[in-house]
Chain A
Amino acid sequence: MAEHLSTSARAAGAQPVPIAERLRRRRRIGESMIQALLWLCGAVSILTTLGIVIVLGRESWLFFGDEAVSLIEFFGSTTWQPAIGHFGIWPLLLSTLITSTIAISVAVPIGLAAAIYLSEYASPRVRAWIKPILEILAGIPTVVYGFFALYFMTPLLRAIFGPDTVQIFNMASAGLVMGIMITPIICSMSEDALSAVPRALREGAYGLGATRFEVATRVVLPAALSGILAAVIVGVSRAIGETMIVAIAAGAGPNFTFNPFQAAETMTGHIARISGGDISYASIDYNSLFAIGLTLFVMTLSLNLLSQRIVRRFREVYE
C-alpha cells in the first residue's frame, strides 16, 4: 500500500503540471449542469420554507395587529371562538398536547422495543420480513387511520370504559391511533441508530460475560441515545402536526378539558375544519388560522432545533 502511494506521488511530481490541476482546468459541461441542478433543488426547498414563513408571518401580523386581538388574550384565555371575538389559543393547544402525549406514550415504548428486537435479537430472515411490514404501516394514508380511530378504537374504548364516559369523538382514540401511526417512524429511526453502534462494543460486553439483554439495554441503548432521542422528537413533531386523524376522530369544537375521553379540537383539526368552510378572506377568522399555523410552526421548529442540540450533545463518537 505504502509502496503504491509513493510511486503514484512520484509519477505526479514528474509531470510539468499536476494532474489534479489539469483535471480542474478541463471544462465539463455535464458536470456543471448536474451541479446547477442539485443547487437548484436545494434552493427550491429553502425558498419554499422561506415563502411559508413569510406568508405565515404576514397573515399573523394582520391578526395580531387587529385591535380585537391581544397577545395576553391569545396566550392567556381558554376560549377560542373567532366568530364572537374570543381568541385564546389554550383549548386548541391543550388538546394538541393531550393527543400528542397519548400518541408518544404509545409509540415510544412499542417502537423502541421493536427496534431493539430488530437490531439485537431478530435473525436476518425475520428482519427481512418485519421491516417491509413496518414500512407498509408507515405508508397507510392518515385518513384511513382516522376512520380506524372512529370506527374501531372509539367503540373499543366505549366497550371498556362505558359509552357514558367516552364520547363518540374523543382525544384518547385519536391519540392512540396516532401512536400506532408514529410507531414505525420511531422504530425505523431507532433501529438505524442501534445498528450503527459498532460491533466491537457488543463483543466486548459479551466477552465480559454480559447477557443479550444486558448488552442491549446497558451498552447499545446508551450508545445510540442521541439517535433515539432524535427519533422521538421527530415522532413528537409528527404527532403535533398530524391533521386528518384528529380532524376525523378527536372532535370538531374547541373545548378546554383535560379529560381525554371528551371531544376537543386540536390546532390542526381546527385549521382543517375552518378552512374547509366558506369564510371570507378578509375576515379576522381567516387571519386567525395563520396565527394558529404560526404557533404550530414555532412549536415544531423549536422541537427540531432541540433535537439537533440533543444529537450533538449526546452523540457518542466511535472511530
Chain B
Amino acid sequence: MAAETVELPPVDPAEVQGNIITAGSSTVFPLTQAIAERFQSEGYTGNITIDSIGTGAGFERFCKAAETDIANASRAIKEEEAQACRDKGREPLEFRVGTDALAVVVSSENDFLEELSLEQLAQIFSGQVKNWNELNPSYPAQPIQLYSPGTDSGTFDYFVEAVLEKDKEKLLSVQGVQFSEDDNVLVQGIEGSPYAIGYFGYAYYQENQGRLKPLRIDGVAPTEETAESGEYPLSRPLFIYSAKTIMDQKPQVAAFINYYLSTVEDVILDVGYFPASAEALNQAKQRWLEATGQ
C-alpha cells in the first residue's frame, strides 16, 4: 500500500526564536544533532541543547523533572514513565523518526556460514566457543576471530544489551578481540579472513555490501522491512517524544519537530540508521498536525 505522504506546513528556521532543550538516548543523539545543525545552518539563531545521557535518563528528565522539551529515545516509553509525565501535565507524544539495526557480518569469502541464532551469537562473542568446528562439526577447525566496535560506541552497548544480557564483561574478557571506533578498521579485518566475524550498524554494512556477507539471525535476514517491523532481532526503533502542552507553550519546539519530521529522511542514512517507513512517518506527522491543531 503506497501511503500518500502527509505534508507539514513549511518552517523557516530563521524566524524561529527561543531555546530548545533535548536529552536522552546516545543512539538518537547523532541524528538529533545532525538535524539541529541543519536547522541552525538554515538560520535558526537560538540554542539547542542535546544531552546524550541514555534513554532512561532522558525520560527521567522529561517526565519527572519536566525540564526538557524533547526526549530522545531508542525504545518506546514505558507505562510508568508515561504516568510520571501525565502527573506533570505532559501527555507524551511519540514521533517515530527511524530504525537502528545491527548487521552481523562475515567475509564474503566465508562459504560455510549463513545464519546464527541469538544464542550461538552469544556463545561466539563471549568466548564460550573458540573454534568454528565447536559450533558445528562440519565447519572448519579454525579459531574464530572477533571484531567489535569499541566500548564507547552506542553500537557496542546495544549489542551487549541485546545479545549478551547486558553483561559487557563477557565480551571484554575474551582474549584477542579487535575493538575499533573506526568502522573501516572492522570492515578491513572481517573482510580479510573467512574465519572472522563482527558486527556494526546496518547502514555501514550497506556501504560495503560486495565485501561482506550479512548473517540471518534466528532465521531473519536484515533488510529495511524486517528491521522496521522489528522481526529482525537486532533492530530497534528510534523516537523523539514531546507533549502538546510543551508545543503550545514553546512554538520553537513545535517548529523544530516539524523540521525534524520533514528532513529526517534526507539525513538519517548519513547518520547510519534506516528511515522509518512512510506509514510510521506519516503517522508521526499526523500526530504533529493534531497536536498543533492544524
Chain A contact residues, CB within 8 Å of chain B: 79, 81, 83-84, 86, 150, 163-164, 167-169, 251-253, 255-257, 262-264, 273-274, 276-279
Contacts and interface: CB of A to CB of B under 8 A. Distances in A.
Contacts of A279: 152
Nearest to B167: A84
Given A81-B172, A81-B173, A84-B173, A169 B178 contact: yes
B64 interface: no
18 contacts: A84-B168, A84-B172, A86-B172, A164-B142, A168-B193, A169-B189, A253-B176, A253-B179, A255-B175, A257-B175, A257-B176, A263-B189, A264-B176, A273-B180, A276-B181, A277-B150, A277-B152, A278-B152
A168 B180 CA distance: 14
Contacts of B173: 79, 81, 84, 86
A81 B145 CA distance: 18
A294 to B, nearest CB: 22
B188 interface: yes
A163 B178 CA distance: 17
B189 A168 contact: yes
Contacts of A255: 175-176
Question: Of residues A79, A81, A264, which shows the largest number of chain B Cβ atoms within 10 Å of its Cβ?
Answer: A81
Given A164-B193, A251-B178, 8 more contacts: A79-B175, A81-B172, A150-B188, A168-B196, A252-B180, A253-B176, A262-B176, A277-B150
A83 B173 CA distance: 10
Contacts of B168: 83-84
Contacts of A252: 178-180, 185
B169 interface: yes
Contacts of B181: 273, 276-277
A106 to B, nearest CB: 23
8 closest pairs, A vs B, by CB?
Answer: A168-B192, A277-B152, A255-B176, A252-B180, A253-B178, A81-B172, A83-B151, A84-B169
